[in-house]
């Protein structure tokens, strides 16, 4: 991660009246990248989803400041930004863990016992589905089908699809991410 | 680049193809990649680079070869010799193949039989390029006859001619509902107003379906070409592909393909130096099944909550930003180039009376050969599941085939000989859907299957209309009562009444079909429901019933 | 109270029926072969659950009388809390000022019946013949319905009063 | 302007080009139940209570968005749609915590009126008992999501008439909720003008004035405002 540069304000030219606070966030290039996306879409309100995608890629999740910033830049009311951000499963309003495990619960995976994989991971690492461990190491999520039905049951570990999973294999795959006392 | 220039490229590439007597194709669809196809490809390239004595060898990363469970798949094409396909390929095997190629004696281990039934019974049209082209090289697509249909449309046909061929082909929407594609195209073409749009629905949300993903990953130019032809036919200059966020590989390959097509003047301003201009932008979904519904998809492209709106007005007259909009799904567009190339009449010779052409199915669940297949419409379920799919593994018996995902139904063994087409499936209470086909053996409980799908619909309901929002919740509650053994007979009555009400009164297709899994399992497996309710017993042994009253035994 | 609002009409009704059981009467057990029972209130604990089963067994026509019996109403306001333990802690546990409380155990004792996790409507426990919603059901409606029931008319009775 | 003729429940009626089946029915005193419709707002078409049958069409049609087309034969109260409407109201009553006897809108509530009009005396579906916190942070108004039916009248009036767009719907399906701004307490909402229009259009006791013992029902007030604004005529 780049060193925080306390002196440089994030670009606020798009929302000159009241730029968002950046407290607790490194004032790095990420807002510049976000602004570039916003500019590419000519600040059109229609680009809300695209911009939220970019923002989440940049920051990992969407906090209130980011939502406010995006709303002002695209000239969309805050409640609509919030409504859109919470409608879609992909957007997260809370920080995610350092690592992620997504268990596919699609039909093919269901038929092949994906629920047992989910239960095993939950139990082994004390993490609720769609939650994060208290130490912030692991986020567990479920997917509605990742399209890897031919390899069911499947799970995604830090972005890599793994097929023909078993409860034990899933737990083992996560083990190296976790502190040893678990 | 003009049409003639493109012909030159095609000729050059074909010559280069012919000069390479040997091609090694590694399946680089998401399935095989997750089984280690990347390492196999690396090993091929490393070994080929080491040995100087393999001239004319080409290594390509290709689209889905279909047999996902046996991945990574490696296929060897040699001039004058039959193709050889390896299952579960490893880097070591790959290296051995490259080293032994010059002798013409390939390793025997892990070779699939020459006429493996999985491949023998298929009829690829949409998937014709799978295994043959490198999915990241536009030149490969062009050499395989790609963009010839677009050339033909632009140079020899008028928009009306294109639509006439699509009508003649009898092609119906592959997204599930089966609306005649030609009719849709002519409606949008006739719609008044400038600034029309062409939209490709790649929000393949049915769990158990991955046909569209495979097409986008393996042959993205085919979809782009189909869309460009559609744009030409209906008079649109802008297209959008709305891809599921769950398919990052498809998105990146599409973006690469769009850039390549733009560089060769196959997209953008003045395509092939004609007055026709057409742009395509990719829009990425964010995890909402309901966005597969066309008005919700439009709302989502417009940056809004993916809530459907009442139709009419239909998108064909009032769609994206209020403009006439053509919406088809991936597989529908992928069928367009062959229809234009060989003519609608030729295409219509495939399939059944009312369902023309082929259909791609994703086989999954309790079946030996899981993966992707393409068969002519009218192929029987038995052929699909037992001949191509290899039957049920572990010595279990077939119980049901689920088609159409959460909007579909379960087909029992008594209907295995049914020829699969739109009408036949609808006739037994299921739907064609987008092509997901999940096989269930005797270890699946049909009440629990209904509960599984109802949970899906409950969680994916947008919440706009009451019947779907609250009706799916109550139907799920009732199904939970059954699977936990606390239901009474009146719960079944309530469930059936709700299923009817939600079907008839919901605002959009999600709600209107949400009860289908319940209705179809009740129709074909009512005795299982009764066992849960009257005897507090799960015949398949799936449902645990700790709270159940004393068993009637 | 609404019952008493029937005023002198109550006397007319009384002439046509025998009141065999009521919370105000000194009768410990619910009698057998009762023609009509008006059940007020919802089912909140194990004792109620046993009672309603007995009532159903021994009654010809069971009337869910008033919103609490029909919908749970005010008594079911605790249902979003989900479990009896939470309800008891909320009611008898430490208060907001910090003074310590002594919440009873959810399982009940010999003298106090166990609280159900959720307050249940009469319908969710036993078959109900007539619904008479209202908080409270108006006196006129009670007179009408009772008169009809005594006269042997059962159909179309529940349409006379409203929720709330 | 072309005039159209059609029949509703066998009664011949005429309609203008812009009119919906609902408009025409109401004009002729035929009561089609609605919940999300409010005169002066765009149509939401979400409550599905106004579904009617049109002869020759297998589908049901939402009267609020279906044009009164030439020659159609509309049936507003077939046994089938009456039964469906009843189920819809039952679903709503089971969805949130609708406790009429302690609700500020008791006897002045459109949901309760619907139940009464349908002779709905009990609910067959399992109450969902959601745990929802009441928002009393606004100096003048209270938002009680326990009574909300998600008709979005408040969202639409705030957006379309007041122009503030303080309200919107968050999440989806059974988790959907009406929220102000970034789901913050209403009293802290920078965008709310405090105009109270949302309170006036709420069909139930989800939005009400602090200290009020009942709610206000004024179905014509938006039409009044719009006529005043657009035509400078204050018609009461």
C-alpha distance from residue B485 to each of B480, B490, B542, D186, D231 (Å): 8, 14, 12, 44, 64
Look at residue A22 and tell me whether its pLDDT is greater than 50. Answer: no
User: Is the same domain home to D141 and D30?
Assistant: no
The answer to whether residue D144 sits within a structural domain is: yes
Binary contact (C81, D127; C-beta < 8 A): no
For residue C104, what pLDDT band results from cuts at 50, 70 and 90? confident
Among D41, D58, D77, residue at a domain's last position? D77
Q: Enumerate the residues of chain B whose CB falls inside 8 A of the CB of residue A87.
A: 288, 305-306, 462
In this structure, the number of other CB atoms found within 10 A of the CB of residue B158 comes to: 11
Disruptive mutation site among B303, B371, B393 for chain A (greatest number of A CBs within 10 Å): B303
- Provide, rounded to the nearest whole percent, the portion of chain A with pLDDT above 70: 83
Average pLDDT (B532-552) is 84
Q: Enumerate the residues of chain D whose CB falls inside 8 A of the CB of residue C121.
A: 122
Is the domain B448-534 a CATH 1.10.10.10 member? no
Structure tokens at B431: 């739907």
- Of A112, A147, A150, Cβ closest to residue B371: A150
Task: Please report, for the domain that includes residue D33, its CATH number.
Answer: 3.10.20.740
C-alpha distance from residue B438 to each of A162, B400, D222 (Å): 20, 8, 53
The answer to whether residue D100 sits within a structural domain is: yes
- Of D62, D169, D174, Cβ closest to residue B473: D174
Among D26, D43, D77, residue at a domain's last position? D77
User: Is the same domain home to D22 and D49?
Assistant: yes
pLDDT in single tens digits along all 236 residues of chain D: 689 999 999 999 999 999 999 999 999 999 999 999 999 999 999 999 999 999 999 999 999 999 999 999 999 999 999 999 999 999 999 999 999 999 999 989 999 999 999 989 899 999 999 999 999 999 999 999 999 999 999 999 999 999 999 999 999 999 999 999 999 999 999 999 999 999 999 999 999 999 988 888 889 999 999 999 999 999 88
- Of D159, D164, D168, Cβ closest to residue A82: D168
User: Is the same domain home to D133 and D214?
Assistant: yes
Average pLDDT (B305-323) is 95
For residue C140, what pLDDT band results from cuts at 50, 70 and 90? confident
Q: How many CB pairs under 8 A join B and D?
A: 90
CB neighbour class for D234 (10 Å; exposed up to 12, middle 13-18, buried from 19): exposed
Q: Enumerate the residues of chain A whose CB falls inside 8 A of the CB of residue D180.
A: 79
Helices B516-534 and B446-460: crossing angle in degrees, nearest 10, is: 130
CB distance B357 to B401 below 8 Å:
no
Q: Does A touch B (3+ CB pairs < 8 Å)?
A: yes
Disruptive mutation site among D95, D99, D205 for chain C (greatest number of C CBs within 10 Å): D99
- Of D65, D92, D128, Cβ closest to residue B466: D92
Structure tokens at A177: 């991410």
CA B71 to chain centre: 19
- Provide, rounded to the nearest whole percent, the portion of chain A with pLDDT above 90: 60
Tokens 């692991």 identify what position? A138
Q: Enumerate the residues of chain D whose CB falls inside 8 A of the CB of residue C161.
A: 121
- Of A48, A76, A106, Cβ closest to residue B208: A106
3-state secondary structure chain D: CCEEEEEECCEEEEEECCCEHHHHHHHCCCCCCCCCCCCCCCCCCCCCCCEEEECCCCCEEECCCCECCCCCEEECCCHHHHHHHHHHHHHHHHHCCCCHHHCCCCCCCHHHHHHHHCCCCCCCCCCCCCCCCCECCCCCEEECHHHCCCCCHHHHHHHHHHCCCCEEEECCHHHCEEEECCCCCHHHCCCCCCCCHHHHHCCCCCEEECCCCCCCCCCCHHHHHHHHHHHCCCCC
Is the domain B3-113 a CATH 3.30.413.10 member? no
Q: Does D touch A (3+ CB pairs < 8 Å)?
A: yes
B235: left (phi over 0), alpha (psi -120 to 50) or beta: left
A104 bridge partner residues: A143
Residue B400 CA to residue B414 CA, distance in Å, equals 9
Closest CA to B173 of B544, B448, B431, B449: B431
Domains of chain A: 1-93 (1.10.10.1590), 99-177 (3.40.30.10)
CB distance B6 to B264 below 8 Å:
yes
Binary contact (A150, B31; C-beta < 8 A): yes
CB distance A35 to A51 below 8 Å:
no
Taking the domain B145-348, which CATH number applies?
A: 3.40.50.11540
Q: How far is D205 from chain C (nearest CA, A)?
A: 13
Disruptive mutation site among D122, D124, D133 for chain C (greatest number of C CBs within 10 Å): D122
**What residues contact D173, with CB distance under 8 A and at least 6 apart?**
B458, B459, B460, B461, B462, B463, B469, B472
Q: How far is D160 from chain A (nearest CA, A)?
A: 13
Binary contact (D171, B463; C-beta < 8 A): yes
Q: Locate the chain D residue with the closest alpha carbon to C82.
A: D129
Domain span at residue C50 reads 35-160
Q: Does B touch D (3+ CB pairs < 8 Å)?
A: yes
A163 in reach of chain B (CB within 8 A):
yes
Q: Enumerate the residues of chain C whose CB falls inside 8 A of the CB of residue D109.
A: 164
Q: Enumerate the residues of chain C whose CB falls inside 8 A of the CB of residue D119.
A: 158-159
CB distance D30 to D9 below 8 Å:
yes
Residues 354-383 of B with CB under 8 A from A: 362-366, 370-372
Percent helix / strand / coil, chain A, rounded to 5? 45, 10, 45
| B410-435 pLDDT tens trace | 999 999 999 999 999 999 989 988 89
- Give the pLDDT of residue B55: 64
Look at residue A14 and tell me whether its pLDDT is greater than 70. Answer: no
Q: How far apart are the first and last CA of chain A?
A: 28
Q: How far is D57 from chain A (nearest CA, A)?
A: 34
Binary contact (A80, D165; C-beta < 8 A): yes
Closest CA to A119 of A170, A174, A176: A170
Phi and psi, residue D120, nearest 5°: -85, 110
User: Is the same domain home to D15 and D114?
Assistant: no
The answer to whether residue D137 sits within a structural domain is: yes
Binary contact (A79, D168; C-beta < 8 A): yes
The answer to whether residue D192 sits within a structural domain is: yes
Residue C50 CA to residue D18 CA, distance in Å, equals 61
Task: Please report, for the domain that includes residue D150, its CATH number.
Answer: 3.30.70.20
Phi and psi, residue A178, nearest 5°: -100, 155
| B88-112 pLDDT tens trace | 999 999 999 988 888 878 898 899 9
User: Is the same domain home to D127 and D149?
Assistant: yes
Average pLDDT (B126-151) is 94
D51 in reach of chain B (CB within 8 A):
yes
Q: Enumerate the residues of chain B whose CB falls inside 8 A of the CB of residue D126.
A: 474, 477
Binary contact (D112, C132; C-beta < 8 A): no
Say which CATH class B358-441 falls into. alpha beta
Look at residue A19 and tell me whether its pLDDT is greater than 60. Answer: no
User: Is the same domain home to D89 and D58?
Assistant: no
The answer to whether residue D123 sits within a structural domain is: yes
- Dihedral, CA atoms, B32, B33, B39, B44, nearest 10 degrees? 60
**What residues contact C21, with CB distance under 8 A and at least 6 apart?**
C27, C30, C31, C34, C37
Residue A82 CA to residue A65 CA, distance in Å, equals 12
| C45-103 pLDDT tens trace | 999 999 999 999 999 999 999 999 999 999 999 999 999 989 998 888 887 777 788 88
Binary contact (B505, D174; C-beta < 8 A): no
- Give the pLDDT of residue D209: 96
* Beta strands D73-75 and D3-8, pairing class: parallel
CB distance A167 to A117 below 8 Å:
yes
CB neighbour class for A6 (10 Å; exposed up to 12, middle 13-18, buried from 19): exposed
A91 in reach of chain D (CB within 8 A):
no
User: Is the same domain home to D140 and D114?
Assistant: yes
In this structure, the number of other CB atoms found within 10 A of the CB of residue C27 comes to: 12
- Give the pLDDT of residue B58: 87
The answer to whether residue C111 sits within a structural domain is: yes
> Partners for B (CB, 8 Å, 3+ pairs)?
A, D
User: Is the same domain home to D121 and D140?
Assistant: yes
In this structure, the number of other CB atoms found within 10 A of the CB of residue C51 comes to: 16
Among D26, D59, D77, residue at a domain's last position? D77
The answer to whether residue D236 sits within a structural domain is: no
Binary contact (B477, D47; C-beta < 8 A): no
Domain count, chain C: 1
Binary contact (D181, A80; C-beta < 8 A): no
CA D126 to chain centre: 24
Q: Enumerate the residues of chain B whose CB falls inside 8 A of the CB of residue D110.
A: none
Binary contact (D122, C133; C-beta < 8 A): yes
Task: Please report, for the domain that includes residue C78, its CATH number.
Answer: 3.40.50
Residues 24-83 of A with CB under 8 A from B: 44-50, 52-53, 74, 76, 80, 83
Binary contact (D112, C162; C-beta < 8 A): yes
The answer to whether residue D37 sits within a structural domain is: yes
Binary contact (D182, A82; C-beta < 8 A): yes
Binary contact (C76, D99; C-beta < 8 A): yes
User: Is the same domain home to D96 and D135?
Assistant: yes
Domain count, chain D: 2
Q: How far is A72 from chain D (nearest CA, A)?
A: 12
Binary contact (A105, B207; C-beta < 8 A): yes
Q: What is the mean pLDDT of chain B?
A: 93
Q: Which of B238-242, C14-18, C33-37 has the lowest mean pLDDT?
A: C14-18
Structure tokens at B7: 């012909």
**Biggest alpha carbon distance in chain D?**
54
Q: Which of A2-6, C44-48, C142-146, C151-155 has the lowest mean pLDDT?
A: A2-6
CB distance B533 to B551 below 8 Å:
no
User: Is the same domain home to D45 and D154?
Assistant: no
CB neighbour class for B68 (10 Å; exposed up to 12, middle 13-18, buried from 19): buried
The answer to whether residue D67 sits within a structural domain is: yes
The answer to whether residue C26 sits within a structural domain is: no
Domain span at residue D128 reads 83-231
- pTM (2 decimals)? 0.93
| A111-154 pLDDT tens trace | 888 999 999 999 999 998 888 998 999 999 998 888 788 888 99
Q: Enumerate the residues of chain A whose CB falls inside 8 A of the CB of residue B321.
A: 46
| B40-86 pLDDT tens trace | 999 999 988 876 555 678 899 999 898 988 989 999 988 888 889 99
Look at residue A1 and tell me whether its pLDDT is greater than 70. Answer: no
For residue A181, what pLDDT band results from cuts at 50, 70 and 90? low
For residue A173, what pLDDT band results from cuts at 50, 70 and 90? very high
DSSP helix/strand/coil, B96: helix
Q: Enumerate the residues of chain B whose CB falls inside 8 A of the CB of residue A52.
A: 286
- Give the pLDDT of residue C90: 85
The answer to whether residue C24 sits within a structural domain is: no
B464 in reach of chain A (CB within 8 A):
no
Binary contact (C70, D122; C-beta < 8 A): yes
């Amino acid at each position: 991660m780049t060193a925080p540069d306390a002196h440089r304000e994030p670009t606020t030219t798009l929302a000159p009246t009241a730029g968002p606070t950046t407290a607790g966030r490194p004032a790095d290039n990420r807002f510049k990248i976000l602004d570039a996306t916003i500019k590419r879409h000519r600040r059109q309100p229609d680009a809300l989803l695209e911009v939220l995608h970019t923002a989440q890629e940049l920051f990992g999740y969407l906090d209130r400041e980011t939502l406010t910033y995006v709303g002002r830049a695209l000239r969309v009311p805050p409640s609509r930004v919030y409504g859109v951000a919470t409608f879609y499963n992909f957007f997260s309003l809370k920080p995610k863990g350092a690592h992620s495990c997504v268990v596919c619960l699609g039909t093919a995976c269901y038929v092949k016992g994906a629920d047992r994989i989910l239960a095993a991971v939950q139990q082994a690492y004390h993490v609720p589905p769609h939650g994060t461990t208290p130490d912030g190491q692991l986020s567990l999520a479920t997917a509605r089908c990742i399209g890897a039905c031919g390899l069911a049951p499947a799970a995604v570990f830090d972005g890599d699809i793994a097929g023909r999973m078993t409860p034990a294999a899933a737990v083992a795959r996560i083990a190296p991410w976790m502190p040893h006392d678990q | 680049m003009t049409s003639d220039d493109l012909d030159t490229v095609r000729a050059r590439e074909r010559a280069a193809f012919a000069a390479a007597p040997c091609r090694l194709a590694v399946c680089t669809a998401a399935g095989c990649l997750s089984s280690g196809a990347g390492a196999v490809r690396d090993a091929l390239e490393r070994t080929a680079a080491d040995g100087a004595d393999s001239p004319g060898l080409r290594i390509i990363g290709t689209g889905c070869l279909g047999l996902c469970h046996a991945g990574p798949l490696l296929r060897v094409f040699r001039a004058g010799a039959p193709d050889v396909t390896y299952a579960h390929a490893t880097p070591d095997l790959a290296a051995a193949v490259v080293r032994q190629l010059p002798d013409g004696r390939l390793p025997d281990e892990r070779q699939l039989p020459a006429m493996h039934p999985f491949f023998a019974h298929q009829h690829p049209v949409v998937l014709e390029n799978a295994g043959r082209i490198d999915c990241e090289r536009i030149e490969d697509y062009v050499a395989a006859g790609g963009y010839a249909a677009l050339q033909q449309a632009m140079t020899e046909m008028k928009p009306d001619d294109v639509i006439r061929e699509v009508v003649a082909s009898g092609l119906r929407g592959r997204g599930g509902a089966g609306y005649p594609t030609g009719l849709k195209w002519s409606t949008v073409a006739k719609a008044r107003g400038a600034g029309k749009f062409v939209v490709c629905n790649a929000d393949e949300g049915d769990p158990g379906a991955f046909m569209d993903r495979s097409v986008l990953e393996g042959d993205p130019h085919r979809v782009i070409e189909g869309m460009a032809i559609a744009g030409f036919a209906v008079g649109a200059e802008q297209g959008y592909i709305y891809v599921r966020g769950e398919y990052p590989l498809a998105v990146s390959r599409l973006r690469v393909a769009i850039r390549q097509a733009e560089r060769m003047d196959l997209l953008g301003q003045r395509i092939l130096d004609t007055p026709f201009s057409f742009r395509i932008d990719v829009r990425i979904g964010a995890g909402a099944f309901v966005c597969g519904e066309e008005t919700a998809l439009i709302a989502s492209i417009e940056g809004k909550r993916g809530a459907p709106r009442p139709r009419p007005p239909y998108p064909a007259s009032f769609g994206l930003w209020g403009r006439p909009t053509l919406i088809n799904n991936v597989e529908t567009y992928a069928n367009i180039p062959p229809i234009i190339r060989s003519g609608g009449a030729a295409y219509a010779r495939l399939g059944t009376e009312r369902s023309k052409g082929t259909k791609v199915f994703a086989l999954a669940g309790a079946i030996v050969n899981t993966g992707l297949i393409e068969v002519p419409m009218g192929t029987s379920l038995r052929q699909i599941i037992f001949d191509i799919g290899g039957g049920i593994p572990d010595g279990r018996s077939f119980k049901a085939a689920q088609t159409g995902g959460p909007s579909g139904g379960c087909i029992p063994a008594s209907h295995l000989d049914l020829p699969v087409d739109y009408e036949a499936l609808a006739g037994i209470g299921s739907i064609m859907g987008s092509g997901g086909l999940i096989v269930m053996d005797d270890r699946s409980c049909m009440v629990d299957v209904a509960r599984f799908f109802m949970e899906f619909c409950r969680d994916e309901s947008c919440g706009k209309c009451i019947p779907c929002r609250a009706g799916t919740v109550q139907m799920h509650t009732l199904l939970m009562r059954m699977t936990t053994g606390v239901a009474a007979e009146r719960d079944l009555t309530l469930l059936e009444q709700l299923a009817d009400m939600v079907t008839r009164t919901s605002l959009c297709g999600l709600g209107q079909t949400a009860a289908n899994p319940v209705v179809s399992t009740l129709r074909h497996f009512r005795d299982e429901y009764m066992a849960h309710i009257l005897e507090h017993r799960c015949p398949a042994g799936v449902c645990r019933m700790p709270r159940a009253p004393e068993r009637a035994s | 109270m609404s019952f008493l609002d029937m005023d002198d009409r109550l006397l007319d009704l009384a002439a046509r029926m025998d009141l065999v059981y009521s919370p105000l009467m000194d009768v410990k057990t619910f009698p057998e072969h009762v023609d009509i029972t008006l059940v007020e209130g919802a089912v909140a604990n194990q004792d109620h659950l046993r009672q309603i089963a007995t009532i159903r067994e021994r009654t010809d026509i069971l009337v869910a009388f008033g919103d609490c019996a029909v919908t749970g109403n005010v008594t079911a306001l605790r249902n979003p809390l989900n479990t009896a333990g939470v309800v008891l802690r909320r009611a008898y546990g430490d208060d907001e000022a910090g003074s310590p409380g002594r919440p009873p155990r959810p399982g009940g004792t010999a003298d106090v019946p166990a609280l159900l996790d959720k307050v249940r409507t009469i319908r969710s426990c036993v078959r109900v013949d007539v619904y008479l919603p209202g908080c409270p059901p108006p006196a006129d409606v009670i007179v009408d319905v009772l008169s009809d029931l005594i006269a042997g008319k059962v159909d179309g009775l529940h349409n006379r009063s409203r929720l709330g | 302007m072309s005039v159209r003729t059609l029949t509703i429940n066998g009664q011949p009626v005429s309609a203008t080009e812009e009119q919906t089946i609902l408009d025409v029915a109401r004009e002729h005193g035929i009561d089609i139940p609605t919940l999300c419709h409010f005169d002066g707002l765009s149509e939401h078409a979400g409550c599905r209570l106004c579904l009617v049958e049109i002869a020759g069409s297998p589908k049901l049609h939402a009267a609020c968005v279906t044009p009164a087309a030439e020659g159609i034969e509309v049936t507003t109260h077939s046994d089938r749609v009456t039964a469906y409407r009843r189920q819809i109201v039952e679903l709503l009553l089971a969805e949130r915590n609708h406790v009429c006897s302690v609700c500020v809108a008791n006897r002045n509530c459109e949901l309760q009126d619907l139940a009464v009009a349908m002779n709905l005396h009990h609910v067959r579906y399992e109450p969902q008992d959601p745990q929802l916190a009441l928002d009393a942070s606004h100096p003048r108004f209270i938002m009680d999501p326990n009574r909300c039916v998600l008709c979005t009248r408040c969202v639409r009036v705030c957006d379309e008439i007041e122009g503030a767009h303080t309200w919107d719907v968050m999440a989806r399906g059974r988790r959907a909720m009406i929220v102000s701004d970034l789901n913050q307490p209403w009293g802290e909402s920078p965008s709310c003008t405090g105009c109270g229009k949302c309170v006036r259009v709420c069909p139930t006791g989800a939005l009400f004035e602090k200290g009020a013992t009942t709610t206000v029902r004024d179905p014509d007030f938006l039409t009044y405002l719009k006529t005043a604004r657009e035509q400078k005529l204050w018609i009461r």
